[in-house]
């Protein structure tokens, strides 16, 4: 391997979830008392302390998130398209809406996202997980916000819980001024994603009463850097046998690795606490990843991994964006009532503050992501390679080859708690 000026490979990941809640009013009584939420100071330390001391449930929020991740993947995955989404981002945004859900609407959301029966356990678990993921060691920044119609009588407890357990900033807007409101929200999203996602909202429905936004920004550097001088143009074969010429990175390292009769898995750790796990089928046939590769399969494969494997790794550079409208997918997964006239989000508003009868439902859930795997100029202090001819592990008869030249699944996971923050599939890398 060459020494001197090397280039680290880094991954920039961006995710935004946008939940639009629309409201219908069955009468036109203008006697509604307005609740001004903007600038309100709410003290929540006592609530947090009480809830944390009572959090004795065995609920594992990371496992619940991960089970949802695979359910969502198998719902949105198609054979000939790239996939990339943040299950954690979607689950967090919906947890805020869950605070105001009632009856069958609440039950369906709970079942899809694997929330616990005890609301306080979900709230405290969510806060603890968010604080961990947002810690300085992770290089991850998440943010939540509630954008509310300023005349709408939102329930103070709903707003309080959103701020307390999800760090959701609350801003009053006049959605009747559609363009102005959209610009304010778009600027917030642009800032939170470091300028990578811009103008996400085209327009706002005049009946919109609330918009929930969640953003995640992650930029990580590999622990084991790649040397740009080892890059080569290599073919990448999509599942429909199209061939792409892709700049492909190469490394030889001891990696955490395992395989079974169908798949290989490798861990590429980032500086900090996150890792990318790549699952590569031994055959170029990703139909096994369509409704057949489960969270249990992933755990079984991952549990067999060990770090005493010398691996030749070929990994293509890739970058792509995705944008999903998830109402149909979530309905297919069982969350039916939330998007129609049967929706019950009466916990979001205070029925005692108005003589009007409100009916709130979710209009749509927009999820936009971006992933960029590329090189960043950095001065390296030492050699980056291993002499493959002399550094085999004891008892290792041959060097393992991990050649990611056909579609593969990848997951970005927080190793402290096992939470899958991002998940995707590379089907068509961008030609370099």
Give the length of the chain. 432
């060990």: which residue's tokens?
306
pLDDT tens track for 301-330? 999 999 889 999 999 998 888 889 899 999
Task: For 194-244, give the DSSP string.
Answer: TTSS--------TTEEEEEEEEEEEEEEBSSPPPGGG-EEEEEE-TTS-EE
Mean pLDDT of the chain: 80
Say if residue 164 is in the same domain as residue 291.
no
Say if residue 275 is in the same domain as residue 187.
no
Say if residue 421 is in the same domain as residue 359.
no
Residue 195 has pLDDT above 70, yes or no: yes
Say if residue 252 is in the same domain as residue 209.
no
CA–CA gap between residue 278 and residue 32 (Å, rounded)? 54
CA–CA gap between residue 156 and residue 87 (Å, rounded)? 28
What percentage of residues in the chain have a pLDDT greater than 70?
77
The reply to whether 216 falls in a domain is yes
Residue 419 has pLDDT above 70, yes or no: yes
The reply to whether 395 falls in a domain is yes
CA–CA gap between residue 106 and residue 101 (Å, rounded)? 5
Q: What is the CATH number of the domain that holds 184?
A: 3.30.497.10
Q: Where are the alpha helices (DSSP H) in 77-167?
A: 87-98, 103-113, 119-133, 156-166
The reply to whether 432 falls in a domain is no
pLDDT tens track for 322-379? 889 899 999 999 999 998 889 999 998 886 655 456 678 888 888 888 888 764 422 2
End-to-end Cα, the chain, rounded Å = 23
Say if residue 137 is in the same domain as residue 244.
no
Residue 152 has pLDDT above 90, yes or no: no
CA–CA gap between residue 149 and residue 175 (Å, rounded)? 6
pLDDT tens track for 245-281? 999 999 999 999 999 999 999 999 988 899 999 999 9
Say if residue 212 is in the same domain as residue 237.
no
Residue 66 has pLDDT above 90, yes or no: yes
Say if residue 122 is in the same domain as residue 210.
yes
pLDDT band at 24 (very low <50, low <70, confident <90, very high): low
Higher pLDDT, residue 47 or 5: 47
Among 16-25, 64-73, 269-278, the minimum mean pLDDT is found in 16-25
Among 121-125, 296-300, 390-394, 418-422, the minimum mean pLDDT is found in 390-394
Say if residue 213 is in the same domain as residue 236.
no
HSE-up of 302 (CA within 13 Å, CB side)? 19
The reply to whether 259 falls in a domain is yes
pLDDT band at 219 (very low <50, low <70, confident <90, very high): confident
Domain end marker among 354, 371, 388:
371
Say if residue 73 is in the same domain as residue 61.
yes
Question: What is the structure's pLDDT at 394?
Answer: 52
CA–CA gap between residue 279 and residue 176 (Å, rounded)? 47
Say if residue 122 is in the same domain as residue 176.
yes
The reply to whether 36 falls in a domain is yes
CA–CA gap between residue 93 and residue 82 (Å, rounded)? 23
Strand partners, 366: 18, 325
Split into its structural domains, the chain has a count of 2
Q: Which has the closest alpha carbon to 266: 403, 139, 397?
A: 403
Task: Write out the residue range of the structural domain in which residue 277 sits.
Answer: 5-9+222-319+375-426
Domain end marker among 371, 392, 411:
371
Q: What is the CATH number of the domain that holds 303?
A: 2.30.39.10
Domain end marker among 371, 393, 408:
371
Say if residue 171 is in the same domain as residue 181.
yes
Residue 157 has pLDDT above 70, yes or no: yes
The reply to whether 431 falls in a domain is no
Residue 5 has pLDDT above 60, yes or no: no
Say if residue 326 is in the same domain as residue 302.
no
pTM here is: 0.85
Question: What is the structure's pLDDT at 3?
Answer: 37
């Amino acid at each position: 391997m060459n020494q001197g000026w090397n280039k680290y490979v880094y991954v920039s990941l961006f995710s935004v979830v946008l939940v639009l809640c629309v409201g219908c009013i069955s009468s036109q009584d203008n006697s509604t008392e307005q609740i001004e939420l903007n600038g309100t100071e709410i003290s929540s330390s006592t609530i947090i302390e009480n809830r944390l001391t009572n959090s004795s449930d065995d609920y594992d929020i990371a496992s619940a998130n991960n089970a949802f991740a695979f359910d969502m993947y198998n719902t949105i995955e198609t054979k000939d398209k790239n996939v990339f989404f943040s299950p954690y981002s979607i689950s967090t945004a919906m947890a805020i809406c869950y605070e105001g859900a009632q009856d069958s609407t609440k039950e369906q959301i709970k079942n899809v996202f694997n929330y616990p029966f005890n609301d306080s356990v979900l709230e405290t678990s969510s806060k603890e997980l968010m604080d961990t993921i947002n810690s300085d060691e992770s290089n991850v920044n998440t943010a939540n916000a509630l954008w509310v119609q300023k005349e709408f009588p939102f329930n103070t407890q709903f707003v309080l819980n959103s701020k307390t357990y999800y760090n959701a900033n609350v801003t009053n807007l006049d959605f009747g001024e559609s363009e102005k409101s959209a610009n304010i929200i778009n600027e917030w999203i642009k800032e939170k994603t470091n300028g990578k996602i811009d103008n996400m909202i085209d327009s706002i429905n005049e009946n919109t009463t609330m918009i929930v936004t969640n953003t995640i920004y992650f930029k990580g550097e590999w622990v084991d850097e790649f040397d740009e001088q080892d890059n080569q143009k290599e073919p990448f074969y999509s599942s429909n046998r199209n061939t792409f010429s892709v700049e492909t990175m190469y490394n030889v390292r001891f990696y955490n690795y395992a395989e079974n009769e169908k798949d290989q898995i490798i861990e590429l750790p980032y500086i900090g606490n996150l890792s990318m796990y790549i699952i590569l089928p031994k055959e170029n046939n990703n139909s096994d990843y369509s409704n057949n590769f489960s969270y249990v399969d992933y755990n079984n494969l991952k549990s067999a991994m060990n770090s005493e494997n010398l691996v030749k790794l070929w990994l293509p550079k890739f970058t792509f964006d995705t944008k999903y409208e998830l109402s149909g997918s979530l309905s297919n997964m069982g969350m039916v009532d939330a998007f129609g006239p049967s929706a019950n989000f009466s916990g979001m508003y205070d029925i005692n503050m108005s003589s009007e009868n409100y009916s709130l439902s979710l209009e749509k859930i927009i999820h936009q992501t971006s992933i960029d795997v590329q090189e960043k100029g950095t001065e390296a202090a030492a050699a980056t390679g291993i002499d493959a001819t002399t550094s085999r592990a004891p008892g290792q008869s041959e060097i393992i080859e991990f050649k990611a030249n056909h579609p593969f699944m990848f997951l970005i996971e927080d190793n402290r708690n096992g939470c899958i923050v991002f998940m995707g599939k590379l089907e068509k890398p961008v030609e370099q």
